[in-house]
């Protein structure tokens, strides 16, 4: 990794430079909130965003995507396209970059997922530092920082960005698109100051040190029933989660019934039929069992495989959940002995 400094007023140059070669996707405003969307004009970019409604996973695994198209009559695959559009995801916060790396574990290990892989390989990541907002508990998981998983990373130093360059592509890009300069000792000092300020501004992060242990111990805790009675089984939490990856596969026929598309669509383990098998046996028939599964899978099951927890503490699920089911509160309640929230 090496470092450069870029004056803030150069930002439009960088974005335009990128846009000449890539589809640039960054945070823009939608109503009172923010979304990642194609940026057609650098002034649309809202680098002051707190969080987005959907995480960047939608650009690697769209909510609905075609796996292949087929002909019914002779069972032939007639089309199978990998999306290799050159893209830049601009302005990702550390939690979301960490989220992507957790997705990578699933989709790039074991059987490689060609669709995910193609998008991942053709996408550059430009990271951006942030300040914790109300719902963040990334620090509790150690996902508040990111040391790889990006091509370049911008840290806001007021009138300039401290640019960390991680990849060759990142370095090339910077060279081609925008004027930067060498870092000075003052820049480094300021960079450190900003980083410390960031660290200091976290308040009341939950203690997650015992989470796997707690989950093991509290499998039959009444807390799960309480959460279950509230849960709408709506799945909103899974949709907005940067690390929820479950999907369903459906065949859709064209109106003439001759050809069709096999599609992958986002699914949620909170839906009632997620674990139902033929003849109606449902391995998680109760809402309580399904809510519990979300926590066990994320903070215990995944951990057992990849030595990380499948949560980056972004707080999106808590704000999407109308039933006020919030992992942070659940963790704190379990830590406090369980029994009720």
Partner 1 sequence: MNPTAVRRLAAYEQLSANPYRPWPARITSITELTDKETLFELRLIDDDVRDAFKFESGQFVEVSIFGVGEAPISISSAPSKQGFIELCVRNAGDVTGALHSRQCGDIVGLRGPFGRGFPFEEMKGNDVLLVAGGLGIAPLKSLINHIHDTRHEFGKVTILYGSRSPEEVLFARQFDMWRHRDDFDLHLTVDQPDETWDGDVGLVTNLFERVDVDPAKTFGAICGPPVMYKYVVAEMRAKGMEADRIYVSFERRMKCGFGKCGHCGVGHQYACIDGPVFNYWEAMNLQEAM
Partner 2 sequence: MARVVVLGLASDFGCQVQMTNMEDHLLDVLGAIELEYWQLAASGHMPEDYDVAIVEGAVTTEEHVELLKRVRETASTVIAIGSCAVTGGIPALALSGDLEDRVGCVYGESGALVACGRILPMPVGAIIDVDYHVVGCPIDPAEFVEVLHRAIQGLRDAVPLEPMCATCKIAENTCFYDRGEVCLGLVTRAGCGTKCISLGRPCTGCRGIAADANFESAKAIVERMGADLDLLLERAQLYNNARKDLS
Ligand X SMILES: Cc1cc2nc3c(=O)[nH]c(=O)nc-3n(C[C@H](O)[C@H](O)[C@H](O)COP(=O)(O)OP(=O)(O)OC[C@H]3O[C@@H](n4cnc5c(N)ncnc54)[C@H](O)[C@@H]3O)c2cc1C
Tell me which residues touch partner 1 (CB under 8 A). Answer: 67-68, 70-72, 74-77, 80, 106-107, 110-111, 113-115, 219, 245-251, 253, 257, 260, 262, 267, 269, 274-279, 281, 283-284, 289, 293, 296-297, 300-305
Q: Should residue 222 be labelled a site residue for partner 2 when binding is judged by CB under 8 A?
A: no
Phi then psi dihedrals of residue 303, to 5 deg: -55, -40
Q: How far is the CB of 248 from ligand X (least distance, A)?
A: 11
Structure tokens at 341: 């929230």
Q: Should residue 329 be labelled a site residue for ligand SF4 when binding is judged by CB under 6 A?
A: no
Q: Should residue 266 be labelled a site residue for partner 2 when binding is judged by CB under 8 A?
A: yes
Give the ranges where the chain is alpha helix by DSSP (H). 11-21, 94-108, 114-121, 138-141, 168-177, 185-200, 211-217, 223-230, 236-240, 287-296, 302-306, 316-320, 327-335
* Partner from partner 2, partner 1, ligand X, none contacting 148, C-beta within 5 to 8 A by type: none
Stretch that binds ligand SF4, among 45-53, 68-76, 112-120, 239-247 (CB under 6 A): 239-247
Show contacts with ligand X in window 277-296 (CB under 6 A). Answer: 277-278, 280
**Strands 87-92 and 123-128, how do they pair?**
parallel
Query: 157 or 239, CB closer to partner 2?
Result: 239
* Partner from ligand X, partner 1, ligand SF4, none contacting 260, C-beta within 5 to 8 A by type: partner 1
Q: Should residue 276 be labelled a site residue for ligand X when binding is judged by CB under 6 A?
A: yes
Q: For residues 265 and 55, what is the distance between their CA atoms, to the nearest angstrom? A: 16
Q: How far is the CB of 300 from ligand X (least distance, A)?
A: 23
Q: How far is the CB of 133 from partner 2 (least distance, A)?
A: 15
The answer to whether the beta carbons of residues 33 and 52 sit under 8 Å apart is: yes
Phi-psi region of 190 (alpha: psi -120 to 50; beta: other; left: phi over 0): alpha
Q: Should residue 233 be labelled a site residue for ligand SF4 when binding is judged by CB under 6 A?
A: yes
**Strands 259-266 and 247-253, how do they pair?**
antiparallel
Q: What is the DSSP string of 154-191?
A: EEE-SSEEEEEE-SHHHHHHHHHH---B---HHHHHHH
Q: How far is the CB of 30 from partner 2 (least distance, A)?
A: 6
């Amino acid at each position: 990794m090496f470092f450069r400094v870029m004056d803030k007023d150069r930002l439009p140059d960088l974005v335009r430079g990128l846009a000449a070669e890539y589809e640039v996707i960054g945070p823009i405003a939608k109503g009172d909130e923010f979304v990642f969307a194609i940026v057609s004009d650098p002034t649309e970019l809202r680098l002051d965003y707190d969080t987005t409604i959907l995480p960047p996973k939608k650009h690697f695994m769209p909510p609905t995507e075609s796996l292949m198209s087929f002909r019914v009559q002779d069972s032939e695959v007639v089309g199978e396209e990998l999306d290799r559009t050159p893209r830049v995801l601009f302005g990702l916060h550390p939690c979301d970059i960490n989220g992507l790396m957790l997705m990578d574990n699933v989709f790039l290990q074991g059987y490689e997922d060609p669709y995910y892989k193609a998008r991942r390989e053709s996408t550059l990541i430009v990271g951006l530092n942030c300040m914790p907002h109300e719902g963040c508990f990334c620090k509790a998981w150690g996902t508040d920082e990111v040391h790889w998983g990006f091509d370049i990373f911008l840290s806001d130093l007021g009138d300039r960005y401290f640019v960390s360059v991680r990849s060759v592509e990142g370095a090339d890009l910077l060279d081609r698109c925008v004027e930067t300069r060498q870092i000075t000792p003052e820049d480094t000092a300021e960079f450190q100051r900003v980083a410390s300020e960031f660290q200091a501004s976290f308040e009341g992060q939950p203690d997650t040190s015992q989470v796997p242990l707690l989950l093991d111990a509290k499998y039959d805790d009444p807390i799960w029933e309480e959460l279950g009675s509230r849960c709408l089984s709506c799945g909103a939490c899974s949709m907005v989660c940067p690390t929820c990856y479950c999907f369903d596969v459906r065949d859709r026929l064209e109106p003439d019934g001759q050809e069709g598309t096999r599609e992958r669509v986002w699914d949620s383990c909170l839906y009632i039929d997620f674990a139902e098998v033929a003849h109606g046996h449902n391995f998680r028939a109760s809402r309580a069992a399904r809510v519990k599964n979300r926590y066990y899978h994320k903070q215990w099951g995944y951990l057992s495989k990849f030595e990380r927890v499948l949560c980056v503490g972004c707080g999106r699920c808590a704000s999407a959940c109308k039933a006020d089911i919030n992992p942070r509160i659940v963790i704190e309640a379990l830590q406090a002995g369980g029994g009720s929230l």
